[in-house]
Structure 1
Amino acid sequence: MASSWDNRVAFVVRYLYDIDCNGYLDAHDFHCLALRSCVLEGKGECSKARLQKYQHIMLSLWEEIAQLADFDKDGIVTVDEFKQAVMNCCVGRRYEDFPQAMRAFIESNFRLIDLNNDGILALEEYRYDCVQRIVVEDIKIIDEAYYSLLNDDDRRRGGITLTRYQELFAQFLGDQSDDCPAKHLFGPLEL
């Protein structure tokens, strides 16, 4: 099932962290993620200060992931190793209980999606984020996925705040049910 916990965690590896698409995580992915994040946040511009900020965030994340998930200490983290680490560190936990570097990544990811920097992830920003990662032939599918995430407060505010995004991210990784309320955080997932 596309919204299964296994598929959601594999999605995180494949579409958020494994930037070189080789099927596993290593330090190279996080060096590249730092540059990518710097360029995206700068909308093409890449300042030395911003790059250093993202290098710190991403390399700290890699070190944390390697410590928690590289069980055989070979310098790479497979999808299965990552799933086990998420099981150990995230399942059944609140966002505040997630590892520090993962929280820093989640916060920086929100800032990259919030294109107009208003603190709200609106439908258009969600669409933009989704189509960068997944293949969709009808915008209606993305819109339905977005609206499925919203609660009454989100609707009143006009979208998803950072705090709500953090809560949804924690559900996405920490809730093992197939009908997880946050199953569409990154769009309608495929198998």
Structure 2
Amino acid sequence: MAYSWDNRCNFVVKYLYDTDSNGILEQNDFECMALKMTILEGKGLFNSNRHQENLHVMLSLWDEIAQIADFNKDGVVTTEEFKDAVQKCCIGKSYAEFPQAMKMFIDNHFKIVDLNGDGLIGVEEYRYNSITRIPIANIDTIDQAYQNLLNDDDKRRGGLTLSRYQELYAAFLGDPTDKGPAVHLFGPLPENC
């Protein structure tokens, strides 16, 4: 099932962290993500100060993931090791209880998705983020996922705030069921990530 907890964890590894698509996580993936975040934040411009900040966040995230997930200490984290770590650190927990580096990543990711910097992730930004990550053939599929994500307050505001994004991200990883709006956080997910 596309929205099962297992598939959502696979999605995070495959589409968010594993930048070189080799099926494992390693420090290089997080160094590449730092550069990607810097370029995306700058909309093509490179700011070395922001790159150093992003590099710090991403290497801290890697260190945290490696510490809790690299069980055999071989310098790589497999998808199964990642899932075991997420199960221990995130299931049933709120955003406030997540590891610090993961919270920094979530906050930085919000900034990247919020393309116009207005503090809300609107439908256009959601569409852009979804389509750049996975192949989707129908706009209605993306728009329906977005509508499923929103609660009444989100609709009144015109999108997701940072605090709402944090709440949804925590549920995306921390709710073992395939129910609830958070399963749509990254758009319509492919089956068998």
Query: Where on the TM-score scale, by shorter chain, does this alignment land: which range?
Result: over 0.9
Q: What does 1:93-172 correspond to in 2, within 5 Å?
A: 93-172=93-172
Structure 2 counterpart of 1:111, one-letter code: K
**Secondary structure of the residue that 1:160 maps to in structure 2?**
coil
Offset at residue 179 of structure 1 (A): 1.6
Mapped pair 1:39 → 2:39: yes
**Deviations 1:153-182 (Å, cap 9, x if unpaired)?**
001100000000000000000000022321
Q: Look up the match of 1:11.
A: 11
Identity of aligned residues (%): 59
SS across alignment from 2:185: coil
d(CA) in 2 for partners of 1:152, 1:180: 14
Q: Deviations over 1:70-115 (max 9, x none)?
A: 0000000000000000000000000000000000000000000000
Q: Give the Cα–Cα distance (whole angstroms) in 2 for the partners of residues 101 and 42 of structure 1.
A: 22
2: distance between equivalents of 1:40 and 1:120?
17
User: 1:24 aligns to what?
Assistant: 24
Q: Which amino acid aligns with 1:184?
A: H
Assess if the C-alpha contact under 8 Å between 2:110 and 2:165 holds in 1: yes
- What amino acid sits opposite 1:99 in the alignment? P
Shift of 1:186: 0.3
**Per-residue CA shift, 1:130-175, capped at 9, x if unaligned?**
0001111110000000000100100110000000000000000000
TM-score, normalization: structure 1?
A: 0.99
The gaps in structure 1 that reach 5 residues or longer are none
Preserved CA contact (<8 Å) 2:150 2:181: no
3-state SS of paired residue (2:183): coil
- Shift of residue 2, structure 1, vs aligned partner: 0.6
Residue by residue, what CA displacement relative to the aligned partner does 1:32-91 show, whole Å, maximum 9, x if unpaired?
001010001001111110110110000000000000100000000000000000000000
Q: Which amino acid aligns with 1:80?
A: E
Superimposed CA distance per residue, residues 4-29 of structure 1 (whole angstroms, 9 cap, x where no aligned partner): 00000110011110011100100000
Q: How many residues align?
A: 191
Residue type at the aligned position of 1:54: N
Give ranges in structure 2 of 5+ residues lacking alignment.
Answer: none
Which residues in structure 2 correspond to 1:20-99 (within 5 Å)?
20-99=20-99
Q: Which residue identity lines up with residue 122 of structure 1 in the other structure? A: G
> Normalising by structure 2, what TM-score?
0.98
